Amino acid sequence: MLVVETTIFGISALASVAAGIAVFRVNSMARATFALLASFILAAVPILLLGLTFLGVIVILMMIMEMMIMLVFMIMYMMNPAGLMPMKMVHNNKMSFIISVSVFVILAVGAVLTPWPRFGAPSDVDPTQMIGLDFMGPHMLVMVVIGLVLFATIVSVVVLAQARGRYDRYGDDLRTRPPNDPVRTGLGR
């Protein structure tokens, strides 16, 4: 059983990193998005192997949705339609490569050499139940903050992305009446 799990882990880990590298090597933004999606899903397989079913499934589902939305934006801002031309838009490529390789080496050496401690024994409680009770109990503050952050994100994203805000309509002191709209609103236009 352990051999099977280790094999699955090895394959998915290598494929996940390979898909991650492919993100920056393919010639089209759409392909890059799907490579990123593949990388995320393959990175969720080790999480499932650890027994964290809920979190693994959440990662997979959320990443599929997120990448589908991202794909729309990617195509919106695509500078190379259909990947017909080589797409390479990098600055300081060599130094970036050196930095990222050295960061990987440092982190990997640290991961191997550190004598990792172990706190507590594995409990019989299902990890999904554990996190559910935790978020409704001791870690409720985390859940509350996440909710507030997500709501603030919705508001700020709409404000940032809209073409004409209230200062465009009502003037800098917000007192211009009627609002300065390109098309008059209301009945009897």
Partner 1 sequence: MTLSLFLILAAALFAVGLYGLLSQQSIVMIMMGLELAISGIIVAGAALWYFVVPGGPNAEALVVVALTAMAVEMAVGFAIATAIFRARDVDMVDSASDLKG
Which residues 135-154 are close enough to bind partner 1 by CB under 8 A?
Answer: 135, 139, 142, 146, 149-150, 153-154
Within 7-46, the residues that bind partner 1 by CB under 8 A are 9, 13, 16-17, 20-21, 23-24, 29, 32-33, 36, 39-40, 43, 46
CB within 8 Å of 60: residues ≥ 6 apart: 40, 41, 44
List 81, 82, 104, 167, residue binding partner 1 (CB under 8 A): 104
Q: How far is the CB of 107 from partner 1 (least distance, A)?
A: 4
CB within 8 Å of 79: residues ≥ 6 apart: 29, 87, 89
Residue 20 one-letter amino acid: G
What is the C-alpha separation between 120 and 78, in angstroms, rounded? 50
- Which of the ranges 120-128, 166-174, 176-184 carries the binding residues for partner 1, by CB under 8 A? 120-128
Q: How far is the CB of 103 from partner 1 (least distance, A)?
A: 5
- Which C-beta is closer to partner 1: that of 52 or that of 170? 52
57-78 exposure pattern, b = at least 16 Cβ within 10 A, e = fewer: eebbeebeeebeebbeebeeee
